[in-house]
Amino acid sequence: MSNSIDSSTKNTVSPSATAKFDPDSIHQRLNTSLSRPQLNADGSIRHFLGVEGLNKVQLQAIIAKAETFFDENGQLINSPELDGCTVMNLFFEPSTRTRTTFEVAEKRLGANVLNIDIERSSTKKGESLRDTLWNLQAMTADIFVVRHSASGAAHFMATEVTPDIAIINGGDGWHAHPTQGMLDMLTIHREAPRPFEELSVAIIGDIKHSRVARSDISALQTLGVKDIRVCAPRTLLPKGIERFGVTVYEDMNRCVTDCDVIIGLRIQNERIGSPLLASSSEYYKHYGITPERVALAKPDALVMHPGPMNRGVEIASSVADGAQSVILKQVNNGIAIRMAVLSLAMQGQRAHQADIHSNS
């Protein structure tokens, strides 16, 4: 989903509104344009920059690879697939959950892990991003895991700066959070009682600023979900989002009715009390994931949240800790997905290098 979409629309869209665009066509064109930087000629993953650009078979391959890191009891296992490889975690903006799970995944794969302190790096002293990356590349790095506040930063690194390093996007601006999107898909795959093609999924919250929402929507569409619903205050809805094949609801009760999956999104504190959002209590009143609203969904519906959660704002504690919540399973699944993406990208990068050498 493009970051150029904004929320300047003056009217919320009702479920009965007809989109003026063909979402399948838009989705296909977007995937085609974004596939080139991250794939080898044979379709294998060389970088993991976004779920946009990957087809259904490729997303299923990531899920299948992640499944290999669970034993018969559902416990994570170690695998030496990155033994001898050096992974550098380059987080240009703060993160605890994503950075930690990446580090756990890297160590479970046997990699040498370096966490680069960007706050003390030479970029803070005026060195360009290009020069910083080239210097890190010279230190025999094999993989960069990158989080950056600028949308498209990971694509820039993969295409313009260090194409011979496997680049894993750990979140870029408002654009994408592909490993979060894929861990959500793995969670749905493992926990939902029906296949993707039969699911109704509701995404609730700050859709406009959420890279998680963008990645989830794209992955859900690619995996065959036909009923994707979104609900948020008008100020937190991107203009024209319905063109991407989702149905926008003004009323949350209607949005979650008969849903199979409810995904809550985080509301950043700076939005509360601003023109975008009057108050946390007002938000909770209209959009909070409460027991009463969960009861409107199917009896076996899943409740998900990317974290960190604002209890009593986005979600009731009784729901977050309840029987239908799979939030902690998402965290565990995040390790498996990141192991899968790291392994596949390194495998694809090695194949790419071998191909270059064989043709030189």
Q: What is the pLDDT of residues 241-251, one digit of tens each?
A: 988 899 999 89
Distance of CA 323 to the CA centre of its chain: 24
Confidence bin at 95 (pLDDT 50/70/90): confident
Q: Are both 156 and 207 inside the same structural domain? A: no
- pLDDT above 60 (res 273): no
| Domain shared by 138 and 198, yes or no | no
Instruction: State the amino acid at position 119 in one-letter form.
Output: E
pLDDT at 142 over 50: yes
How high is the mean pLDDT of the chain? 87
Binding site members: 97-98, 125, 147, 177, 180, 211, 266, 307-308
Task: Output phi, psi for 62, to 5 deg.
Answer: -65, -45
The answer to whether residue 150 is domain-embedded is yes
- Asked if 198 and 306 sit in the same domain, the reply is yes
> What is the Cα–Cα distance from 159 to 36, expressed in whole angstroms?
10
288, 282 in Cβ contact below 8 A? no
Is 298 part of any domain?
A: yes
Look at residue 151 in the predicted model and tell me its pLDDT: 82
In a domain, 352, yes or no: no
pLDDT given at position 19: 36
Averaged over 249-277, what is the pLDDT?
Answer: 84
Q: Are residues 202 and 302 in the same domain?
A: yes
- The total number of residues shown for the chain amounts to 360
CATH number of domain containing 119: 3.40.50.1370
Closest C-alpha among 4, 59, 149, 67 to residue 332: 67
* C-alpha dist (Å) from residue 41 to 53, 63, 137, 352: 13, 21, 24, 9
- Across the chain, where does the E strand assignment appear? 86-91, 112-116, 143-148, 166-172, 200-204, 227-231, 247-249, 261-264, 302-304
Q: Are 80 and 156 part of one and the same domain?
A: yes
Tokens of 195: 């296949």
- At residue 199, the pLDDT reads 98
| Helix, coil or strand: residue 54 | coil
Shared domain check, 193 and 99: no
Task: State how far the Cα of 243 lies from the Cα of 109, in Å rounded to an integer.
Answer: 40
Joined tokens for residue 148: 């950056």
Whether the pLDDT of residue 34 is over 70: the answer is no
pLDDT of residue 15 exceeding 50: no
Q: 283 lies in which domain range?
A: 178-327
Distant-in-sequence, close-in-space partners of 43: CB < 8 Å, separation ≥ 6? 57, 58
Same structural domain, 187 and 78? no
Binding residues for L-aspartate: 125, 211, 266
4 within some domain: no
**Whether residues 41 and 170 fall in one domain:** yes
Say which residues have a Cβ less than 8 Å from residue 331's Cβ, sequence separation at least 6.
97, 101, 307
Residue bearing tokens 């946390």: 280
Q: Report if residue 11 sits inside a domain.
A: no
- Contact (CB, 8 A) for 122 and 109: no
Using alpha carbons only, how large is the chain's radius of gyration in Å? 20
Q: Is residue 113 part of a domain?
A: yes
Looking at the 3D structure of the chain, how many domains does it have?
2
- CA–CA separation, 159 vs 238, rounded Å? 28
Q: Which residues are annotated as a binding site for carbamoyl phosphate?
A: 97-98, 147, 177, 180, 307-308
Q: Answer yes or no: is 1 within a domain.
A: no
- Shared-domain flag, residues 191 and 321: yes
Contacts of 34 (CB under 8 A, 6+ apart): 49, 50, 52, 53, 155
Residue 24 tokens read as 């399948």
pLDDT (mean) for 18-36 = 47
pLDDT of residue 287: 94
For residues 342 and 319, membership in a common domain is answered with: no
Calculate the CA dihedral of residues 299, 177, 79, 192 and round it to 10 degrees: 10
Both 306 and 249 in one domain: the answer is yes
Q: DSSP letters of 292-336? A: HHHTTS-TT-EEE--S---BTTTB-HHHHTSTTB-HHHHHHHHHH
Residues 133-138: what's their mean pLDDT? 90
pTM score, whole prediction: 0.87
Distances (CA, A) of 155 to 20, 32, 148, 313: 30, 14, 11, 34
Query: d(Cα 45, Cα 345) in Å, to the nearest integer?
Result: 5
* 80 lies in the same domain as 171: yes
More confident call, 116 vs 290: 290
In a domain, residue 16? The reply is no
**Residue 109 amino acid letter:** L
